[in-house]
Structure 1
């Protein structure tokens, strides 16, 4: 029944609809091309290096306090961590009295076994 209806205004609107559909298709192709370009760039970029040693923190009395020294990929470290150098980790273990994680044993890697 709707196919039988026609007017100059309806024909203009159908034409506009076809033009807009082509513009949307073109925009989608441009988006696809840009995503492909960004994927290529990301594939060439080296992955960020994991920190070798980290210091985990806990909240005590409204402040964050160092909890333990961990190897960088230790799953027991928690969410609140800070990357540290080997010298900072040694100081934390030997001078500051911060314990080493008993699971990942960073003290063994650093040569500080008690």
Structure 2
């Protein structure tokens, strides 16, 4: 029927318990997010470790994929992830330059290989 009046001290203790409960839940949520992010980063590192190293030299094929249009250094920024480029050995890059396949004007593989026009 009539509930006894709660004192201000009782209300403050109640408020403290609520805040602790909410803070504990928030910390648990953040810990979950941290664990998920650590797992995602670990997986990314594993994938990167399994990826083969990039080729030192690239030959860029034309749109019909048969003619060669340029020789590139492996890290050339103009190539990006083009499906028209294939990784080749240093000797193959040299041979292509000697067979008049143009050198990329940005990465200058002819200079890197010691062949100058």
Q: What TM bracket, shorter-length normalisation?
A: 0.5 to 0.7
**Residue matched to 1:73:** 75
Q: CA offsets per residue over residues 6-49 of structure 1, 9 Å max, x none? A: xxxxxxxxxxxxxxxxxxxxxxxxxxx9xx77864653562531
Which has more radius of gyration?
2
Give unpaired runs (5+ residues) of structure 1.
1-32
As a proportion of its length, which structure holds more strand? 1
Count of residue pairs the alignment pairs up: 81
Once superposed, what is the RMSD of the aligned Cα atoms?
Answer: 2.7
TM-score, normalized by length of structure 1?
0.56
**Residue matched to 2:88:** 84
Query: For residues 108 and 59 of structure 1, do their structure 2 counterparts lie closer, same or farther at Cα, with a shift above 3 Å needed?
Result: same
Q: CA deviation at 1:76?
A: 2.1
TM-score, normalized by length of structure 2?
0.55
Q: CA offsets per residue over residues 36-81 of structure 1, 9 Å max, x none? A: 7786465356253121110001125xx5310000011212236210
Whole-Å Cα distance in 1 between the matches of residues 43 and 63 of structure 2? Answer: 40
Give unpaired runs (5+ residues) of structure 2.
1-34
